[in-house]
Amino acid sequence: MPLPIYRTAPAPILQAAPAPLPKTAPAPLSLTAPAPLSLTAPAPLPQTVPAPMRADTAIPRHVAIIMDGNGRWAAARHLPRVAGHRAGAQAVRRAIEAAIRAGVEWLTLYAFSSENWQRPNDEVSDLTGLLRHYLRTEVAELHAEHVRLRTIGDRTRFGPDIVRELHQAEHLTRNNSRLNLTVALSYGGRSEIVAAARALAAAAAAGQLDPANITEETFGQHLFTTFMPDPDLVIRTSGERRVSNFLLWQSAYAEFLFPEVLWPDFSQVHFDSALADYAQRERRFGARPA
Ligand code: FPP
Protein backbone atom coordinates (compact mmCIF):
# COMPACT_ATOMS: atom_id res chain seq x y z
CA MET A 1 0.00 0.00 0.00
CA PRO A 2 1.56 3.33 -0.99
CA LEU A 3 2.31 6.00 1.51
CA PRO A 4 -0.60 8.44 1.41
CA ILE A 5 1.60 11.49 1.69
CA TYR A 6 0.21 14.83 0.57
CA ARG A 7 1.29 15.62 -2.92
CA THR A 8 0.03 19.17 -2.67
CA ALA A 9 1.65 21.86 -0.62
CA PRO A 10 1.16 21.01 3.04
CA ALA A 11 -0.84 23.37 5.20
CA PRO A 12 1.63 25.39 7.24
CA ILE A 13 1.41 24.73 10.93
CA LEU A 14 2.77 26.55 13.91
CA GLN A 15 3.63 29.52 11.79
CA ALA A 16 0.86 31.77 13.02
CA ALA A 17 2.04 35.03 14.48
CA PRO A 18 2.34 34.82 18.26
CA ALA A 19 -0.51 36.35 20.25
CA PRO A 20 0.10 40.08 20.59
CA LEU A 21 0.98 41.46 23.97
CA PRO A 22 -1.96 43.06 25.80
CA LYS A 23 -2.58 46.65 24.77
CA THR A 24 -3.34 47.76 28.31
CA ALA A 25 -0.87 50.02 30.05
CA PRO A 26 1.85 47.97 31.74
CA ALA A 27 1.65 47.74 35.49
CA PRO A 28 4.42 49.93 36.94
CA LEU A 29 7.30 48.10 38.54
CA SER A 30 7.43 48.81 42.22
CA LEU A 31 9.68 47.45 44.91
CA THR A 32 7.12 48.15 47.60
CA ALA A 33 3.74 47.39 46.13
CA PRO A 34 3.72 44.54 43.60
CA ALA A 35 1.39 44.85 40.64
CA PRO A 36 -1.89 43.10 41.37
CA LEU A 37 -2.29 39.65 39.88
CA SER A 38 -4.66 39.56 36.95
CA LEU A 39 -6.02 36.41 35.44
CA THR A 40 -7.27 38.16 32.34
CA ALA A 41 -4.60 40.56 31.15
CA PRO A 42 -1.12 39.82 32.43
CA ALA A 43 1.15 42.83 32.68
CA PRO A 44 3.56 42.85 29.74
CA LEU A 45 7.21 42.40 30.45
CA PRO A 46 9.07 45.67 31.06
CA GLN A 47 10.78 46.85 27.90
CA THR A 48 14.22 46.37 29.40
CA VAL A 49 13.73 42.60 29.58
CA PRO A 50 14.39 41.04 26.18
CA ALA A 51 11.90 38.65 24.69
CA PRO A 52 12.78 35.11 25.74
CA MET A 53 14.43 32.94 23.10
CA ARG A 54 11.41 30.83 22.28
CA ALA A 55 11.33 27.99 19.81
CA ASP A 56 7.99 29.02 18.37
CA THR A 57 9.53 30.99 15.55
CA ALA A 58 10.42 27.70 13.89
CA ILE A 59 9.40 24.12 13.60
CA PRO A 60 12.07 21.79 15.00
CA ARG A 61 14.53 21.07 12.27
CA HIS A 62 15.33 17.62 13.63
CA VAL A 63 12.90 15.38 15.49
CA ALA A 64 14.17 12.10 16.95
CA ILE A 65 11.79 9.45 18.24
CA ILE A 66 12.23 6.54 20.65
CA MET A 67 9.41 4.33 19.42
CA ASP A 68 8.25 2.57 22.58
CA GLY A 69 5.19 0.60 23.58
CA ASN A 70 4.79 -2.01 20.84
CA GLY A 71 4.77 -4.87 23.33
CA ARG A 72 2.20 -3.24 25.62
CA TRP A 73 0.00 -2.40 22.65
CA ALA A 74 0.00 -6.07 21.63
CA ALA A 75 -0.48 -7.33 25.19
CA ALA A 76 -3.51 -5.09 25.67
CA ARG A 77 -5.08 -6.86 22.68
CA HIS A 78 -3.96 -10.36 23.67
CA LEU A 79 -1.81 -10.44 20.54
CA PRO A 80 1.77 -11.70 20.12
CA ARG A 81 4.47 -9.04 20.43
CA VAL A 82 5.19 -9.25 16.72
CA ALA A 83 1.71 -7.83 16.08
CA GLY A 84 2.74 -4.79 18.08
CA HIS A 85 5.91 -4.41 16.03
CA ARG A 86 3.93 -4.74 12.80
CA ALA A 87 1.53 -2.06 13.96
CA GLY A 88 4.62 -0.04 14.95
CA ALA A 89 5.88 -0.24 11.38
CA GLN A 90 2.57 1.30 10.24
CA ALA A 91 3.11 4.10 12.73
CA VAL A 92 6.54 4.68 11.18
CA ARG A 93 4.73 5.60 7.96
CA ARG A 94 2.44 7.99 9.76
CA ALA A 95 5.38 9.66 11.51
CA ILE A 96 7.16 10.13 8.18
CA GLU A 97 4.04 11.61 6.61
CA ALA A 98 3.51 13.91 9.58
CA ALA A 99 7.12 15.09 9.48
CA ILE A 100 6.86 15.86 5.77
CA ARG A 101 3.62 17.76 6.23
CA ALA A 102 5.05 19.79 9.08
CA GLY A 103 8.19 20.69 7.15
CA VAL A 104 10.56 18.90 9.53
CA GLU A 105 13.85 18.35 7.70
CA TRP A 106 15.32 15.52 9.76
CA LEU A 107 13.56 12.58 11.35
CA THR A 108 15.53 9.97 13.26
CA LEU A 109 13.83 6.80 14.48
CA TYR A 110 15.22 4.41 17.10
CA ALA A 111 14.20 1.08 15.60
CA PHE A 112 16.66 -1.31 17.25
CA SER A 113 19.10 -0.60 20.06
CA SER A 114 22.39 -2.41 20.61
CA GLU A 115 20.72 -3.83 23.74
CA ASN A 116 17.76 -5.21 21.77
CA TRP A 117 19.95 -8.14 20.70
CA GLN A 118 19.38 -9.44 24.24
CA ARG A 119 15.69 -10.04 23.50
CA PRO A 120 14.54 -13.62 22.82
CA ASN A 121 15.68 -15.01 19.47
CA ASP A 122 12.11 -15.16 18.20
CA GLU A 123 11.55 -11.46 18.74
CA VAL A 124 14.93 -10.49 17.23
CA SER A 125 14.07 -12.62 14.24
CA ASP A 126 10.62 -11.01 13.96
CA LEU A 127 12.13 -7.51 14.10
CA THR A 128 14.78 -8.41 11.54
CA GLY A 129 12.12 -9.87 9.25
CA LEU A 130 10.00 -6.77 9.66
CA LEU A 131 12.95 -4.55 8.76
CA ARG A 132 13.64 -6.65 5.65
CA HIS A 133 9.97 -6.49 4.67
CA TYR A 134 9.89 -2.73 5.28
CA LEU A 135 12.91 -2.19 3.05
CA ARG A 136 11.41 -4.29 0.25
CA THR A 137 7.99 -2.70 0.34
CA GLU A 138 8.50 0.93 1.38
CA VAL A 139 11.73 2.19 -0.13
CA ALA A 140 10.29 2.86 -3.59
CA GLU A 141 7.56 4.99 -2.05
CA LEU A 142 10.02 6.82 0.19
CA HIS A 143 12.03 7.60 -2.93
CA ALA A 144 8.90 8.77 -4.78
CA GLU A 145 8.26 11.15 -1.90
CA HIS A 146 11.85 12.47 -2.06
CA VAL A 147 12.83 11.02 1.29
CA ARG A 148 16.50 10.29 1.84
CA LEU A 149 17.09 7.17 3.92
CA ARG A 150 20.18 6.58 6.03
CA THR A 151 21.03 4.49 9.06
CA ILE A 152 23.19 4.88 12.13
CA GLY A 153 24.50 2.00 14.22
CA ASP A 154 26.24 -1.28 13.55
CA ARG A 155 24.01 -2.57 10.79
CA THR A 156 26.44 -5.34 9.85
CA ARG A 157 24.95 -7.34 12.73
CA PHE A 158 21.76 -7.78 10.70
CA GLY A 159 23.57 -9.84 8.09
CA PRO A 160 24.67 -9.33 4.49
CA ASP A 161 21.22 -9.33 2.87
CA ILE A 162 19.92 -6.45 5.00
CA VAL A 163 23.22 -4.61 4.66
CA ARG A 164 22.87 -4.92 0.89
CA GLU A 165 19.24 -3.73 0.92
CA LEU A 166 20.16 -0.78 3.11
CA HIS A 167 23.06 0.13 0.87
CA GLN A 168 20.80 0.02 -2.19
CA ALA A 169 18.14 2.12 -0.45
CA GLU A 170 20.71 4.71 0.61
CA HIS A 171 22.14 4.83 -2.88
CA LEU A 172 18.71 5.13 -4.52
CA THR A 173 17.60 7.96 -2.24
CA ARG A 174 20.95 9.77 -1.95
CA ASN A 175 19.85 12.89 -3.85
CA ASN A 176 16.51 13.33 -2.07
CA SER A 177 16.11 16.25 0.27
CA ARG A 178 12.45 16.60 1.24
CA LEU A 179 13.00 14.66 4.45
CA ASN A 180 16.19 13.13 5.83
CA LEU A 181 15.04 9.90 7.44
CA THR A 182 17.60 8.16 9.61
CA VAL A 183 16.87 4.79 11.19
CA ALA A 184 18.97 3.80 14.19
CA LEU A 185 19.73 0.10 13.87
CA SER A 186 21.78 -1.79 16.42
CA TYR A 187 22.60 1.65 17.73
CA GLY A 188 23.99 2.52 21.15
CA GLY A 189 25.08 5.99 22.19
CA ARG A 190 27.74 4.90 24.66
CA SER A 191 29.50 2.56 22.26
CA GLU A 192 29.34 5.28 19.61
CA ILE A 193 31.11 7.69 21.98
CA VAL A 194 33.68 5.03 22.97
CA ALA A 195 34.39 4.30 19.29
CA ALA A 196 34.98 8.00 18.65
CA ALA A 197 37.30 8.23 21.67
CA ARG A 198 39.18 5.16 20.49
CA ALA A 199 39.64 6.56 16.98
CA LEU A 200 40.93 9.87 18.34
CA ALA A 201 43.23 8.11 20.82
CA ALA A 202 44.63 5.94 18.02
CA ALA A 203 45.30 9.01 15.87
CA ALA A 204 47.01 10.72 18.82
CA ALA A 205 49.10 7.62 19.59
CA ALA A 206 50.18 7.49 15.94
CA GLY A 207 51.34 11.10 16.16
CA GLN A 208 48.69 12.27 13.69
CA LEU A 209 46.69 14.31 16.19
CA ASP A 210 47.61 16.66 19.01
CA PRO A 211 45.19 15.87 21.89
CA ALA A 212 45.04 19.61 22.57
CA ASN A 213 43.29 19.99 19.23
CA ILE A 214 40.40 17.68 20.10
CA THR A 215 37.26 19.78 20.26
CA GLU A 216 33.56 19.04 20.51
CA GLU A 217 33.43 19.56 16.78
CA THR A 218 36.24 17.11 15.96
CA PHE A 219 34.77 14.63 18.41
CA GLY A 220 31.35 14.94 16.77
CA GLN A 221 32.92 14.24 13.40
CA HIS A 222 33.80 10.75 14.65
CA LEU A 223 30.22 9.86 15.52
CA PHE A 224 27.73 8.06 13.27
CA THR A 225 25.72 11.27 13.14
CA THR A 226 28.34 13.50 11.56
CA PHE A 227 26.01 14.15 8.59
CA MET A 228 23.07 15.45 10.62
CA PRO A 229 22.29 18.40 12.87
CA ASP A 230 21.68 17.68 16.55
CA PRO A 231 18.07 16.82 17.38
CA ASP A 232 15.92 19.73 18.52
CA LEU A 233 13.16 17.53 19.90
CA VAL A 234 13.37 13.98 21.23
CA ILE A 235 10.05 12.17 21.69
CA ARG A 236 9.69 8.91 23.60
CA THR A 237 6.27 7.34 23.38
CA SER A 238 4.51 5.11 25.94
CA GLY A 239 5.10 7.40 28.90
CA GLU A 240 8.50 5.92 29.76
CA ARG A 241 10.95 8.65 30.72
CA ARG A 242 14.36 7.35 29.74
CA VAL A 243 16.82 8.03 26.94
CA SER A 244 17.92 4.39 26.73
CA ASN A 245 21.29 5.05 25.14
CA PHE A 246 19.83 7.09 22.27
CA LEU A 247 21.78 10.03 20.82
CA LEU A 248 23.47 10.71 24.16
CA TRP A 249 26.01 13.18 22.80
CA GLN A 250 23.74 14.70 20.20
CA SER A 251 20.78 15.45 22.48
CA ALA A 252 22.76 17.60 24.90
CA TYR A 253 20.42 20.54 24.29
CA ALA A 254 17.39 18.81 22.84
CA GLU A 255 13.92 19.32 24.21
CA PHE A 256 12.35 16.09 25.50
CA LEU A 257 8.75 14.99 25.37
CA PHE A 258 7.21 11.82 26.81
CA PRO A 259 3.66 11.39 25.52
CA GLU A 260 1.61 8.50 26.93
CA VAL A 261 0.59 7.19 23.52
CA LEU A 262 1.90 3.71 22.68
CA TRP A 263 3.96 3.77 19.50
CA PRO A 264 1.53 1.71 17.34
CA ASP A 265 -1.16 4.34 18.04
CA PHE A 266 1.11 7.26 17.15
CA SER A 267 -0.36 9.45 14.43
CA GLN A 268 -0.35 12.90 12.87
CA VAL A 269 -2.28 14.25 15.87
CA HIS A 270 0.46 13.18 18.28
CA PHE A 271 3.20 14.52 16.03
CA ASP A 272 1.49 17.89 15.69
CA SER A 273 0.80 18.00 19.41
CA ALA A 274 4.49 17.36 20.09
CA LEU A 275 5.43 20.22 17.77
CA ALA A 276 2.93 22.50 19.48
CA ASP A 277 4.46 21.61 22.85
CA TYR A 278 7.95 22.26 21.46
CA ALA A 279 6.76 25.66 20.24
CA GLN A 280 6.04 26.62 23.85
CA ARG A 281 9.52 25.73 25.07
CA GLU A 282 12.12 28.33 25.77
CA ARG A 283 15.47 27.13 24.49
CA ARG A 284 18.48 28.77 26.04
CA PHE A 285 21.31 26.34 25.28
CA GLY A 286 22.70 26.96 28.74
CA ALA A 287 22.76 30.73 28.34
CA ARG A 288 20.46 33.38 29.79
CA PRO A 289 18.63 36.10 27.90
CA ALA A 290 21.05 39.05 27.66
C1 FPP B 1 9.93 -0.79 21.50
O2 FPP B 1 8.73 -1.38 21.94
C3 FPP B 1 10.09 -0.96 20.08
C4 FPP B 1 11.10 -1.67 19.51
C5 FPP B 1 12.14 -2.34 20.29
C6 FPP B 1 11.18 -1.87 18.06
C7 FPP B 1 10.73 -0.73 17.21
C8 FPP B 1 10.33 -1.29 15.90
C9 FPP B 1 9.32 -0.83 15.15
C10 FPP B 1 8.58 0.39 15.47
C11 FPP B 1 8.87 -1.51 13.92
C12 FPP B 1 9.88 -1.70 12.87
C13 FPP B 1 10.53 -0.47 12.40
C14 FPP B 1 10.95 -0.29 11.14
C15 FPP B 1 11.70 0.93 10.78
C16 FPP B 1 10.66 -1.27 10.11
P17 FPP B 1 8.79 -2.54 23.01
O18 FPP B 1 8.78 -3.84 22.30
O19 FPP B 1 9.97 -2.35 23.93
O20 FPP B 1 7.44 -2.28 23.76
P21 FPP B 1 7.12 -2.50 25.30
O22 FPP B 1 8.02 -1.60 26.08
O23 FPP B 1 5.68 -2.10 25.41
O24 FPP B 1 7.35 -3.95 25.59
The residues spanned by each domain of the chain are: 56-188+228-281
Other C-beta atoms within 10 Å of 264: how many? 28
Measured between alpha carbons, how far is 290 from 281 in angstroms, rounded to an integer?
18
- Give the chain's mean pLDDT: 85
* Residue 19 confidence class, pLDDT cut points 50, 70, 90: very low
Nearest to 173 by CA among 135, 143, 132: 143
The residue contributing the CA closest to ligand 1 atom 7 is: 111
Mean pLDDT, residues 244-271 taken together: 98
Ligand 1 midpoint to CA 214 (Å): 36
pTM of the model: 0.82
262 CA closest ligand 1 atom index: 23
pLDDT 10s digits, 178-237: 999 999 999 999 999 999 999 999 999 999 999 999 999 999 999 999 999 999 999 999
Q: Which CATH number fits domain 56-188+228-281: 2.60.40.3880, 3.40.50.1820, 3.30.110.40, 3.40.1180.10?
A: 3.40.1180.10
- The pick from 68, 162, 246 for probing ligand 1's pocket by mutation, whose C-beta has the most ligand atoms within 8 angstroms, reads 68
84 CA closest ligand 1 atom index: 18
Ligand 1 midpoint to CA 86 (Å): 9
Nearest to 65 by CA among 265, 276, 269, 258: 258
Measured between alpha carbons, how far is 170 from 173 in angstroms, rounded to an integer?
5
pLDDT over 60 at 119, yes or no: yes
In the chain the first and final C-alpha atoms are separated, in Å, by: 52
Ligand 1 midpoint to CA 39 (Å): 44
The catalytic residue positions are 68, 116
* Residue 57 confidence class, pLDDT cut points 50, 70, 90: low
Instruction: Identify the helix (H) or strand (E) that includes residue 66.
Output: strand 62-66
Neighbouring residues of 240: CB distance < 8 A, sequence distance ≥ 6: 68, 69, 258
